[in-house]
A and B are shown apart, each in its own frame.
Chain A
Amino acid sequence: MGHLLALDLTAYWATTTIKVLVVLGLIPAGALILGYVFLLKMMSFMQSRLGPMEAGPYGTLQLVADGVKFLQKEDIFPDRADRRVFALAPVVVLMSTFLLYMVIPAGPRLIVEDLDTGVIFALAVSSLSVIGVLMAGWASANKYALIGALRAAGQLIAYELPLVLAVVGVAIQAGTFSLQGIVHAQAEGSIFGIGAIGNPFILTQFVGFVLFLAAAQAELSQTPFDMPVAESELVAGYMTEYTGFRFLFFFMGEFGTAFALSAIGATLFLGGWYLPGVHGTLADVVGPLVLGAKIMMVAFLIFWVRFSYPRFREDQLQAIAWKFLIPISLVNILVTGVLKVVVK
């Protein structure tokens, strides 16, 4: 009978369960880390104030306290809301975040699914959240929410293409769409024959990195592209009518996606989990920490811009995307492709 109780951790169902649980834990953890470090503390320091200081040491537990507060709130449905769609929308948004984590490698073997088209998959599922946003805006029966949701949908047209095109350069250089493969390509690469620190693609794909950051900013609907939630115009955009734990879902979705997109940026351009000189099993242990540090670097850039820039208008975003980001990324692809053929 003993063998029935012993858990076979290599069985398919066991690994899948563990992976799902880890990812489910990662979303709030990532949201909490980014929320505390950047939203609460970095923003406060930029604005010459301290931020939360009371809940926990240096206010570290403030977001936990806020989360508990949200859970205690009354679950309000607007009178004329489409109740089922209204309730489902935050889940759809969070689901897209959840799917993002599937393809991000945190070590040589620490990955949920190493898809051959990992990058494309990640970018595809990240835009799923717009469906949730549209549902939220439509079901809220609120004009501000509706305008916000439609703006989010309009924004998708503008930023999705530069986001994909920015990544294509990396894919050409690495020769693969798999995120794990891209990390390996950077780890095994060399700069002018010196392979000591590998070849992080930020050096060769700097234009792509900047384009990726700009498009990711729009994807996350953060300033200067935060028109869907523009608080001075639309109160809170598509989130206007949400309270309590449904709002918490949106919050976790927002910051969880920021964490995941930073992770993708770190993987594509900074070498992901790779640390020079660390190989084998040790890389599985150190990898998540290295990736975490790199995530914080990318997220710092994203949030730095968020807290210091004014907001574009919707038509200006379209103009920037189509007249500026897309041509540059196309040129970037062309140059990368030519160099790939010429140099190799």
Chain B
Amino acid sequence: MTTTTDWKQSAYVAAQAADARVNVELETEGMTLNLGPQHPATHGTLRIVVRLDGEQVVWAEPVCGYMHRGYEKLTEVRTYPQVTTLVNRIDWLGHFCNEVPFILAAEKLMGVEAPPRAQWLRTIFFEMARIANISLFLGDMGVQLGAITPVFYAFRDREYVLNLMESVTGGRFHPNFDRIGGIKDDLPKGWIDETKGVMKRVRDFCDEMEDLLMGNEIFQQRTRGVGVIPPAVAADYGLSGANARASGIDWDLRRDEDYPLAWKEVDFKVWTHPDGDSFARYWVRLQETREAASIIEQLLDGLPSGAIQAKVPRIIKVPAGEAWVHTENPLGEMGYYVVSKGGLGPFRCKIRTPSFNNISILPWLLRGVFVPDVITILASLYFILGDIDR
């Protein structure tokens, strides 16, 4: 009896030794590959240094800062109303969402609150910017996986949302529309009906993406089980937004925080997915786009009348103090910590952007995956370069 075991054991040892010899013989030098700063998958100038063994990633590190524009410093030399122009450019796809938390922080310090109509309109534009942002992700994920057609549908249908934004604010990409104590203008005539039509289009677009891309077997093979983030790890790395919700963390600031905005007035569901893989991240964002369309429709139905601007002094001076306001932006949690010394502009403004934290998980997440999966994971984490480097 013992002899059999011994024989098996020695055979096992011999096999291991042979394997080891072969491994030593066939051991090849790894390769360091620079994904970026100029690379189609990083849609911008993110650089990811990956150490490859064949096509497998052994080690990876994101290097950011190629597009650093120093917004935190620039806010210090601008007055409060001027800052919105700057911060529009942080997450350039979710333009309006960048303005809201800053204005809210300034209003908090001043003790001003926007009138109800302004609050509702802010929420509407916030959600429209979310649709404009995420719908592009829904198409872009296809491009990263090799399907070139969906992104054109995304661009086509996003255009309707941008046109609506333009007809109110005058800016397609950089509305610069939020003011301390309210918003700049009221809605043009016929805008509400038009918006309802567009929201139907957005839903159709979501259905189309579900049919075209999410239901595709190749897409599912490429995304399911790729880049799995357990909830604990997601929390450790400070992931927020859809990335955290796709890992099963039920956390949405729109619902969990109390803002002078209209989210508390509407009925919406916070979608989560238990899987935490790339497919879950896509799925959660798709549901969120639908949810945003439903939020806008509900808000349009109950839009209050009245003023759109509270009484504020002509020259805005913010009393000394510190305020932190964070909101649920398309990419995740975005916050401004504004320190005022009572002057015309902020003394210091710390900007917390979601993408910066979201990509911090890359060294952990990319270890051991194949090069094509690197692209899938990058696309599914969904970062905007301006949001990483600000």
Point out residues on A near B: beta carbons under 8 Å.
43, 46-49, 143-144, 147, 223-224, 226-227, 230-235, 307-316
Q: Is B218 an interface residue (CB 8 A)?
A: yes
Q: Is B200 an interface residue (CB 8 A)?
A: no
Q: Is B264 an interface residue (CB 8 A)?
A: no
- Would you list the 6 A-B pairs with minimal beta carbon distance, nearest first? A311-B146, A47-B152, A310-B145, A310-B147, A232-B144, A310-B218
B32 closest partner in A (C-beta): A143
Tell me if B146 and A223 are in contact (CB < 8 A).
yes
Tell me the bound Cα distance from A46 to B142 in angstroms: 15
Residues of A within 8 A of B33 (CB): 143-144, 147
Residues of A within 8 A of B372 (CB): 227, 230, 233, 311, 313-314
Residues of A within 8 A of B144 (CB): 232
Tell me if B147 and A309 are in contact (CB < 8 A).
yes
Q: Is B92 an interface residue (CB 8 A)?
A: no
Tell me the bound Cα distance from A233 to B146 in angstroms: 9
Q: Please name 15 further chain A to chain B contacts, defined as beta carbons within 8 Å, in addition to the given A232-B41, A310-B218, sorted by A numbering.
A: A43-B149, A47-B148, A47-B149, A48-B152, A224-B218, A226-B146, A230-B146, A232-B143, A232-B146, A235-B40, A308-B149, A309-B147, A309-B216, A312-B221, A314-B370
Tell me the bound Cα distance from A233 to B375 in angstroms: 6
Contact with A along B238-275 (1 / 0, CB 8 A): 00000000000000000000000000000000000000
Q: Is B8 an interface residue (CB 8 A)?
A: no
Tell me the bound Cα distance from A102 to B309 in angstroms: 78
Least CB distance from B140 to A in Å reads 9
Least CB distance from B241 to A in Å reads 23
Residues of B within 8 A of A307 (CB): 148-149
Tell me if B152 and A313 are in contact (CB < 8 A).
no
Tell me if B145 and A232 are in contact (CB < 8 A).
yes
Q: Is B297 an interface residue (CB 8 A)?
A: no
Least CB distance from A289 to B in Å reads 31
Residues of B within 8 A of A230 (CB): 146, 372
Tell me the bound Cα distance from A47 to B219 in angstroms: 19
Can you show 24 pairs from A to B with CB atoms below 8 A apart? A43-B148, A43-B149, A47-B153, A143-B33, A144-B33, A223-B146, A227-B372, A230-B146, A230-B372, A232-B146, A232-B379, A233-B372, A233-B374, A233-B375, A307-B148, A308-B212, A309-B146, A309-B147, A310-B142, A310-B146, A310-B216, A311-B145, A313-B373, A316-B221
Q: Is B20 an interface residue (CB 8 A)?
A: no
Residues of B within 8 A of A309 (CB): 146-147, 216, 218
Q: Is B55 an interface residue (CB 8 A)?
A: yes
Q: Is B222 an interface residue (CB 8 A)?
A: yes
Tell me the bound Cα distance from A308 to B152 in angstroms: 12
Tell me the bound Cα distance from A216 to B213 in angstroms: 23
Tell me the bound Cα distance from A143 to B29 in angstroms: 14
Q: Is B39 an interface residue (CB 8 A)?
A: yes
Tell me the bound Cα distance from A24 to B136 in angstroms: 44
Residues of A within 8 A of B149 (CB): 43, 46-47, 307-308
Tell me if A233 and B218 are in contact (CB < 8 A).
no
A233 closest partner in B (C-beta): B375
Residues of A within 8 A of B13 (CB): none
Tell me the bound Cα distance from A224 to B372 in angstroms: 13
A311 closest partner in B (C-beta): B146
Q: Is B312 an interface residue (CB 8 A)?
A: no
Q: Is B184 an interface residue (CB 8 A)?
A: no
Tell me the bound Cα distance from A311 to B149 in angstroms: 12
B157 closest partner in A (C-beta): A48
Query: Which of B39, B146, B370 is A315 in contact with, Cβ under 8 Å?
Result: B370
Query: Which of B41, B55, B145, B152 is A49 in contact with, Cβ under 8 Å?
Result: B152
Residues of A within 8 A of B222 (CB): 310-313, 316
Q: Is B371 an interface residue (CB 8 A)?
A: yes
Query: Which of A147, A223, A232, A310 is B55 in contact with, Cβ under 8 Å?
Result: A147
Q: Is B156 an interface residue (CB 8 A)?
A: yes
Tell me if B55 and A231 are in contact (CB < 8 A).
no
Q: Is B77 an interface residue (CB 8 A)?
A: no
Q: Is B31 an interface residue (CB 8 A)?
A: yes
A222 closest partner in B (C-beta): B146
Tell me if B146 and A308 are in contact (CB < 8 A).
no
Contact with A along B143-167 (1 / 0, CB 8 A): 1111111001100100000000000
A143 closest partner in B (C-beta): B33
Least CB distance from B212 to A in Å reads 8
